[in-house]
Amino acid sequence: MNILFVGVECYPFAKVGGLGDVIGALPTELNKLKNDVRVIIPKYQTIKPELLTNCVKVKDHQVYLGNKPQKVALYEEVYNSVHYYFIESEKYFNREKVYDYPDEEERWAVFQIAVIEALAFMEDYRPDIINCHDWHTGMIPMLLKTKYFQEYGSIKTVFTIHNVIYQGSYERQTIKLFNMTFDSSMEFDGKLNFMKCAIVQADYVNTVSQTYSQELLQSDYLANGMSPYLQNRAKNGDFSGIINGIDYKIFNPMKDAFIPLKYNYSNYHEGKLAAKKALYEKLGVDFYTNVPMIGIVSRLTKQKGIDLIMEVIEELLHEYTFKFIIVGTGDKVYEDFFKELEEKHPYKVKCYLGYSDEIAHLVYAASDMFLMPSAFEPCGLGQMIALKYGSLPIVRETGGLKDSVEPYNEYTLSGNGFSFTDFNSHDMLYVIKYAFRTFYQPEHWDILVQNAMATDYSFAQSAKKNRQMYKKVISK
């Protein structure tokens, strides 16, 4: 199958969050299954020049944004055996960051129109399926079925929801950018909604975990109003969830260049000890290495359950001897809280406000437990990474967290982590205390770590499921 991934992030060219990881890794695994999967993204100013050493310009052309012509260009690069296309627009993508500009609707309109018109210049390549990722690409299925039907109406579309919160909602007149007329199928809450357009018009809709797909069908609050449209798709068998994976070439304690001692289950005690020493030295803290460590690598936002941690962390710090390390940035109220917590407990807590690949990898390797008490989590990558490093996740049972973390059963010695159901700080506290008690039963803990490190959440697994989905779409 020929499948074209369309998105606005793709590792290693442009990555802000998990979207970039997925679009960066999944095509490689799908291509191993004898498909021709290619990727098209904007050509950002921020892309490192060394990643574009073989990049060639395919075509200079123009697209119309409303009645105004816009200069764009199509580039092509083969990187790690995958074909990547880039849409260049000096006006819209030659900027210092990927997101958060006042003209976002214009930027993504230009990109989507340019993607479709670029199909004419992709020599010897015509996709059977265009897989659109998140709202920035949400108008493409509708455009293919209306404005571009004569040329490209036979191309099937899949729309992947990575996070339903972000929908691309703009005033109705925004539709004029696409030289189309507004109608009720495009409308949600009185506005043009890119995501709704995709949900209604794509040949198939999917999201990034099975549990998240069910949550979106059952809770219109969680689905931000999209439940009725997703329910209509589900009735026809056109909506499902496939959990993402992680790239084990990057996140693997046997290959990780950031950690001092490569390890697997057979020497994980030594590997974690070495990682703790290296991490504590990097952070400039004098922490004991013979006590358990809880790690967090996260955006510091309400979604990530930070409020739950704030409510009970003092009780935990007074009752148990452990080290607590947080890596991330986010809302000022949370950053301030953790800085104050560090000042009050300088020998137990370290807060790294920022992001560093090296620090993050060391936290995954050094931590014994990895805390992710999210209010909701479409897929989540942190818990999958933690599993591979033998850092047992403590998670709330939502979205991909529920799908990937099996709670410990002390009677059968099964499971690969710990979990709680309700979004409640006392439930979380109980489970963390349970994890501490288990930690001091090494014969149980070792089995849990072995189970965790043996879990396979590689993109190879999600690629197989995606391939089945694409076959189903083509056969419709």
The pLDDT tens digits for 154-213 are 999 999 999 999 999 999 999 999 999 999 999 999 999 999 999 999 999 999 999 999
The pLDDT value recorded for residue 476 is 84
The pLDDT tens digits for 428-445 are 999 999 999 999 999 999
Residues 119/92, Cβ–Cβ less than 8 Å: no
What is the residue extent of each domain of the chain?
A: 2-245+460-475, 265-456
Bridge partners of residue 77, in order along the sequence:
84
Residues 115/129, Cβ–Cβ less than 8 Å: no
Give one DSSP letter per residue of 292-322, joined into a string. Answer: -EEEEES-BSGGGTHHHHHHHHHHHHHHS--
The pLDDT tens digits for 286-310 are 999 999 999 999 999 999 999 999 9
Question: What Rg, from alpha-carbon coordinates, does the chain have?
Answer: 23
Q: With 90 as the cut, is the pLDDT of residue 60 above it? A: yes
Q: Is the pTM of this model over 0.85?
A: yes
Q: What percent of the chain has pLDDT over 70?
A: 100
Q: With 90 as the cut, is the pLDDT of residue 462 above it? A: yes
Q: What percent of the chain has pLDDT over 90?
A: 98
Which tokens in the block code for residue 308? 């739950």
Q: With 90 as the cut, is the pLDDT of residue 402 above it? A: yes
* Domain range 2-245+460-475, CATH architecture: 3-Layer(aba) Sandwich (3.40)
The pLDDT tens digits for 101-136 are 999 999 999 999 999 999 999 989 999 999 999 999
The average pLDDT across 457-469 equals 96
pLDDT band (50, 70, 90) for residue 274: very high
The pLDDT tens digits for 359-394 are 999 999 999 999 999 999 999 999 999 999 999 999
The pLDDT value recorded for residue 358 is 97
Burial label, 60 (beta-carbon count in 10 A; 0-12, 13-18, 19+) = exposed
* Domain range 265-456, CATH architecture: 3-Layer(aba) Sandwich (3.40)
Nearest to 215 by CA among 440, 396, 71, 84: 396
Which tokens in the block code for residue 339? 């800085």
Q: With 90 as the cut, is the pLDDT of residue 18 above it? A: no
Residues 6/132, Cβ–Cβ less than 8 Å: yes
Q: With 90 as the cut, is the pLDDT of residue 17 above it? A: no
Residues 259/253, Cβ–Cβ less than 8 Å: yes
pLDDT band (50, 70, 90) for residue 221: very high
Which tokens in the block code for residue 192? 């043009």
Is the fold of 2-245+460-475 the same as that of 265-456? yes
Residue 139, classed as helix, strand or coil, is coil
Length of the chain: 476
